[in-house]
Amino acid sequence: MEKRCFNCMEPLGDEKICPKCGFENNLPENSATIEAGTILKGRYYIGNIFSKSLDSVVYIAYDEELNKKVFVREFCGEKIAKFTHKITATELSQKFLSYSKTTATIGVNDILPRTVDTFAENSIGYLVTDYFEGESLKTLINSGIKISEGNALKIAEKLLKGLKAVHNSGIVYGAISPETLYILKNGDVKLFGIGCSFYDFITDLDYRVEVLNPSYAAPELFDDEAKAFPASDVYSVAAILYRLLTGTIPAISFLRSGGENLASPHKKNKSIPKNINTALLNALNWQLEKRTETETAFLDELSAKKVKRRRSGIIIWANILGFFQGIYDKLASKTNKKAKDKKSAKASADGEAKEKIGLLWLWITIPAVILVGLIVFLVIMFLPTPQNSNNTSSNATSSEIWYYGSGVETPTNNSRYDFGGYSSKAPSSSKPNNTGNTQSIDPNSVECPDLAGYTLLQAKAILNDNNLLLGEVYYDYSNDYPVDYVMAQSLKSGGMVQKGSKIDVVVCKGPKAPEVELPDVTGMEMRLAAEKLMSEGFSNIEYSFFLSDDAPGTVTDASFKDNSGTGYESTVVITVSGEEIEVPDYSGKTVAEAKAISSDISFVFKAENGNEISSITDAGASAYIVVSQDVPKGVAYKGITITLTVK
């Protein structure tokens, strides 16, 4: 078998420098398990590495039987087995081959590279696919190439059209990200990686974030059941388009259901049209039932002149801070109510009953709060004081002292910023080691490594190499680190720790948002105020209700929620006059059913063509079915008027 250039696969003869591409073939480039020049299966001549990830290494190769360039993907089962502990490397390789054979029969080769061969050698699985000329979207982004709005939309359109064939075959890819999306020289797109269906055996969140990019994978893929739907791929395509149009990495998907919000694309880039802005927000809805369901629906919204926004439900904060905030709100509400009652000529019997219940609640709560505060005070007083502490994090909540690194510059290449790829680089020897320990070393102890400046995946690999474990992962904003980089750890580097110890880390989730001023929405109706705030870029809104002399639904105040910051991504609390009620989802219900379950709501009806229906009698109410409603499911005020579209 003749010698070939490791880069372009042209015959090389006795030359060292390829006459066609100029590549110098002196030493193998590969730092992987296969050395360049190796022959696999007596057929595939292995060349340079094309790409690396946590689960596989892809090589440029030459098929001596078909006389053409191909890609050979080597599955790294040992790495996956090493951190899951649920399945052996051999079993994983067998699963990989079975998965590859299944996807090879799909016949959707316009977006997935055609499978040429699958085989195993030395218990390692290999997948051979057609070769293509192109770069990953991540490589293009990191190289500083600017992708215009028009080209970004073309990429999304081609990706969505290709996914339609994939979904029609009963497959959800689920692992779409800038790492797996390749842009070919002719402008076509390819998905080149291992889909999420292969990882159905990984259910733990800590492990799924290793194989799926959490900024682009849909939130339901990180649930316990980890079920994937076509809407999961729609989310990923929208996240990529969001990245291209705004220049900002989307918020980590599984954190959004717990309060992490997503800034409006238009706020990041004023040139984004309103219809595309709304289409993106609909496709990036963290609630599956309100997200754009299919790739066809997303394409339609991207090209539509007007798109209706489908908003997520109000997020309920169920944590300690929320508990104390609730106590504060109750006290404030009580004070306001008393002030209003003094101005009132008389109070209703119902109001007096509520006041008695409120007083009873306060008499029970206040002693409980005092008791909890006393316990916390005693615990703090008797805890040992840590030495040599650095800065602490306000958002990365923990009872420990955090040891912060000095920060790193955003890398210009992807050698350290490759999500899903292990780095063989150990902690830098230039980093300080201030242990001053000259005593004998306990064989059950190891030196704590410095994790600051590494990606979470790299930090986990470093800990594993040192017989240590990754503990809790917290996220906070910082201007000193790139997104997804570790910036602090719970144990100080250089000190000796017991093997098997857990080290908590703080990971950067983006730059700190600049302080902004809230627009004045006082006196506006609740929905109009929310729309104004949303148009200004405030995407996370909560409501607080209390009875006052103002008309029901009138906004009396708007302010940032405590401890949420003062930026566009912070939580804004709108205080509304009136009694709080819940608005249900009326879709599919008859008008009679809608009236029966919502006696505190007034309704206006219109037909699907937009014409208003003057009245619907009680006798005919059961004949009309609700198609949509102008006020989404969530909280509202008693007496609100909702328009129902019926058929």
- State mean pLDDT over 207-223: 81
Least confident of 195-209, 246-260, 323-337, 583-597: 323-337
Residue type, 202: I
> What is the C-alpha to C-alpha distance for residues 146 and 140, in angstroms, rounded to an integer?
8
pLDDT of residue 583: 87
pTM beyond 0.85: the answer is no
The answer, yes or no, to whether residue 256 has pLDDT greater than 60, is: yes
HEC string of 176-188 equals: CCCCCEEEECCCC
pLDDT of residue 579: 85
**Under 8 Å between Cβ of 396 and 415:** no
pLDDT of residue 73: 93
pLDDT of residue 389: 32
The answer, yes or no, to whether residue 252 has pLDDT greater than 60, is: yes
**For the ranges 11-25, 77-91, 424-438, 543-557, the one whose mean pLDDT is highest:** 11-25
pLDDT of residue 604: 87
pLDDT of residue 393: 36
pLDDT of residue 300: 93
The answer, yes or no, to whether residue 407 has pLDDT greater than 70, is: no
For residue 234, what pLDDT band results from cuts at 50, 70 and 90? Answer: very high
> What is the C-alpha to C-alpha distance for residues 70 and 44, in angstroms, rounded to an integer?
9
pLDDT of residue 395: 45
pLDDT of residue 87: 75
Q: How many CA atoms lie within 13 A of 360 on its CB side?
A: 6
Nearest alpha carbon to residue 177 among 231, 256, 240: 240
**How far, CA to CA in Å, does 602 sit from each of 268, 379, 598, 642, 643?**
38, 53, 8, 6, 9
Nearest alpha carbon to residue 2 among 33, 28, 39: 39
Burial profile 189-215: b = 16 or more Cβ within 10 angstroms, e = fewer: bbbbbbbbbbbeebeeeebbbbbbbbb
- State mean pLDDT over 169-198: 86
pLDDT of residue 318: 36
Q: Compute the C-alpha angle 293/297/300, nearest 5°.
A: 160
pLDDT of residue 513: 65
Domains and CATH numbers, the chain: 1-131 (3.30.200.20), 134-315 (1.10.510.10), 320-382 (no CATH), 526-578 (3.30.10), 582-646 (3.30.10.20)
Helix (H) or strand (E) holding 645: strand 641-646
**For the ranges 276-290, 302-316, 574-588, the one whose mean pLDDT is highest:** 276-290
Digit-coded pLDDT (tens) for 616-631: 877 778 888 988 988 8
pLDDT of residue 237: 96
The answer, yes or no, to whether residue 70 has pLDDT greater than 90, is: yes
pLDDT of residue 387: 34
Mean pLDDT of the chain: 77
Nearest alpha carbon to residue 27 among 38, 18, 12, 16: 16
> What is the C-alpha to C-alpha distance for residues 262 and 250, in angstroms, rounded to an integer?
7
The answer, yes or no, to whether residue 411 has pLDDT greater than 60, is: no
pLDDT of residue 427: 33
> What is the C-alpha to C-alpha distance for residues 263 and 536, in angstroms, rounded to an integer?
10
pLDDT of residue 317: 37
Q: How many CA atoms lie within 13 A of 149 on its CB side?
A: 12
Digit-coded pLDDT (tens) for 8-53: 999 988 888 998 888 888 765 545 578 889 999 999 999 999 988 8
The answer, yes or no, to whether residue 158 has pLDDT greater than 80, is: yes
Which tokens sit at 70? Answer: 């191909």
For residue 339, what pLDDT band results from cuts at 50, 70 and 90? Answer: very low
> What is the C-alpha to C-alpha distance for residues 26 and 23, in angstroms, rounded to an integer?
9
Spell out the residues 6+ positions from residue 179 whose beta carbon is closer than 8 angstroms to its own: 53, 136, 137, 138, 193, 213, 418, 419, 420
pLDDT of residue 456: 83
Digit-coded pLDDT (tens) for 105-147: 655 557 888 889 999 888 888 999 999 999 999 988 888 888 8
The answer, yes or no, to whether residue 390 has pLDDT greater than 60, is: no
**Under 8 Å between Cβ of 625 and 590:** yes
